Structure 1
Amino acid sequence: MASNSKSRLLLLGIFVLLATNVSSYDEELINQNVKQGKYAKPLVSPVAPVVAPTPPPPPPVKPPTPPAAPVGKAPTPPPTTGHPVAPAPQPPVNPPVAPAPGPVPPIVRSNKDCVPLCENRCQLHSRKRVCVRACSTCCERCKCVPPGTYGNREVCGKCYTDMVTHGNRFKCP
């Protein structure tokens, strides 16, 4: 039983070997004939790629029609008696009020003041040490740390908002 399956396997291997040799020999003959000018093109045509048919385009969509205006009478103007009507008094216009000042940054006098402010600023950061180190650098250069744990960067001015890393990311948290 085992020898029967072995012999079948051997015969299959020999068949595959001969088939590949024959097909490669045919290709060599075609290539030689093409070089010699006997054939303009190889006899074997390349297999065309299978392209799925494209679906038909969707039907055009009609734009919605605007609702019709309600039918009714236009408001009638007040009757004129021949006397000039005084215009209604206008309320006094107040000048624009300046917005309330935003959060005030804590005062930084020395580099020692930066550490507690930066620890407070970075308390919720996922990489606290990295945040504190960057914040301390910004604090020393700009003499300012924004209030809160996030945002309010514009309070410290252009020095704080424009400082970037080598990768052009904002340096100051």
Structure 2
Amino acid sequence: MKLIVVQFFIISLLFTSSFFALSSVDSSCGEKCNVRCSKNDRKHEECIKDCNICCEKCNCVPSGTYGNKDECPCYRDIKNSKGGPKCP
């Protein structure tokens, strides 16, 4: 019985720690993408979605609301299905 309780406790700790690590990355991307998309010509929801995808892949978002993509070459170089820039 003690072994089952210990196993459950260890599994719970691992799950909880991985959940907090993922949520901290998401919130960081979300805040940066909200700034990035605040003055975007595209639909706001679409901009946020694309920005979050790019942020998760590259772990960075250029500063400001436009340009500055040289700050994050990975973000700059992601292309959409038509060959244009994916990231706002």
TM-score for the superposition, normalised by structure 2: 0.68
- Structure-1 separation of matches of 2:44 and 2:58: 21
CA radius of gyration, larger in: 1
Higher helix content, 1 or 2: 2
Alignment of 1:142 with 2:50, yes or no, is no
Distance apart, 1:111 and its partner CA:
2.2
Which runs of no fewer than 5 residues in structure 1 stay unpaired?
1-108
1:63-142 equivalences in 2 (<5 Å): 110-126=25-41, 127-142=43-58
Q: Which amino acid aligns with 2:85?
A: F
1:156 to 64, 69, 72: 72
Q: Aligned to 2:84, what secondary structure does the other structure show? A: coil
Which runs of no fewer than 5 residues in structure 2 stay unpaired?
1-23
1:24-51 Cα deviation digits (max 9, x unpaired): xxxxxxxxxxxxxxxxxxxxxxxxxxxx
1:111-134 Cα deviation digits (max 9, x unpaired): 221001101100011311111100
Q: Aligned to 1:110, what secondary structure does the other structure show? A: helix
- Structure-2 separation of matches of 1:130 and 1:119: 12
TM-score for the superposition, normalised by structure 1: 0.36
Structure of higher RCO (CA pairs closer than 8 Å, 6+ residues apart): 2
Aligned residue pairs total: 64
